[in-house]
Amino acid sequence: MAISQQVAGRFRLAASGLAVYAAVITVVSIALGDEFMGWGSVIDVAIFLGLACGVYRGSRAASIVLLVYHLLNRVLMYRLTGELSPLLGIAPLVYSFVFFLGILGTFSHHSVRAETIK
pLDDT at 36 over 80: no
91/86: higher pLDDT: 91
Work out the pLDDT band at 108, boundaries 50, 70, 90: confident
Domain regions of the chain by residue span: 2-117
Work out the pLDDT band at 38, boundaries 50, 70, 90: low
Per-residue HEC secondary structure of 9-71 comes to HHHHHHHHHHHHHHHHHHHHHHHHCCCCCCHHHHHHHHHHHHHHHHHHCCCHHHHHHHHHHHH
Question: How far is residue 13 from each of residues 7, 75, 97, measured CA to CA in Å?
Answer: 10, 24, 10
Query: For residue 60, which phi and psi values (nearest 5 degrees)?
Result: -65, -40
* Residue 103 pLDDT: 86
Work out the pLDDT band at 1, boundaries 50, 70, 90: very low
pLDDT at 100 over 80: yes
| Average pLDDT of the residues of the chain | 76
